[in-house]
Amino acid sequence: MAWIVSVAAVAASGVVAAFEGHWRRSARIQVGFGTHGGMWGDALLLPVVNALAVPWIRPGWWLAVPLLMGAVASVALHAWWHGGRQAGVREHMWPSRPTGRWRSDLSWAGWCHVVYVAVELALLAAYVISAMPPPAVAAAVALLLTAHVPIGVLLPPWTATRQVFRVDLGQTAAAIVLVWIVAVLKFTR
């Protein structure tokens, strides 16, 4: 079920992007939904992560805390990824940056992504503090996330500019280190 919900959420965002005219690269945008590496990672890798992680998360009111954490982290990440009026790539989430404020410049597909990332990060936070899965599950989750992070963070600006930005390398490295710290903690519990 987690796999189906994950794929459906990304598909819904893609439909919104298509209705907005942001599915593919155009004179208006450098990276469309269909050529945004992160969206393909969201559609192909994260549903498998979710299918592996969700069975180890016990339901309850306590999930409100990871959801709040995920929402705050998603807002912070989208503000960072926006890059302001001059910086940043024109993509399906921000086809233009007339105001220089991330939330004002965000497309409807971008808002879908904010919600998707909030829920995904909440799920991952809940997984981190949940029961120990078998080592093979923890390793598979870590490997899939290790593949997803550079696809999602480095590929979009590369597609648009043929450059890798130092700040994106730092974010990618920090995320991958965090993924493996969690994996090691899961292995040693």
Residue 61 has pLDDT above 70, yes or no: yes
pLDDT, the chain, mean: 91
Distance CA 83, CA 164 (A): 15
pLDDT at 98: 86
Percent of the chain past pLDDT 90, that is, above it, reads 66
Angle 174-180-182 from CA coordinates, rounded to 5°: 105
What's the confidence (pLDDT) of residue 187? 80
Banded model confidence at residue 128, pLDDT cuts 50, 70, 90: very high
- Over residues 137-168, the pLDDT tens digits come to 999 999 999 999 999 888 888 888 888 888 88
For 183, the token pair is: 């994996």
Domain that holds residue 79: 2-188
Phi, psi angle pair for 99, to nearest 5°: -95, -25
Q: Confirm if 32 and 91 have CB atoms less than 8 A apart.
A: yes
* CA 61 – CA 76 distance, rounded (Å): 24
Confidence of residue 87 (pLDDT cuts 50, 70, 90): low
Size (the chain), residues = 189
CA-nearest of 143, 135, 123 to 189 is: 135
pLDDT at 89: 78
Q: Can you read off the two tokens belonging to residue 24?
A: 């593919």
CA distance 35 to 55: 32
At 184, is the secondary structure helix, strand, or coil? helix
Query: What pLDDT, on the 0 to 100 scale, is given for residue 104?
Result: 92
Locate 10 and state its tokens.
Answer: 């990304």
Find, among 46, 58, 53, the residue nearest to 138 by Cα.
53
Domains held by the chain: number: 1
What is the amino acid identity at position 159? Answer: T
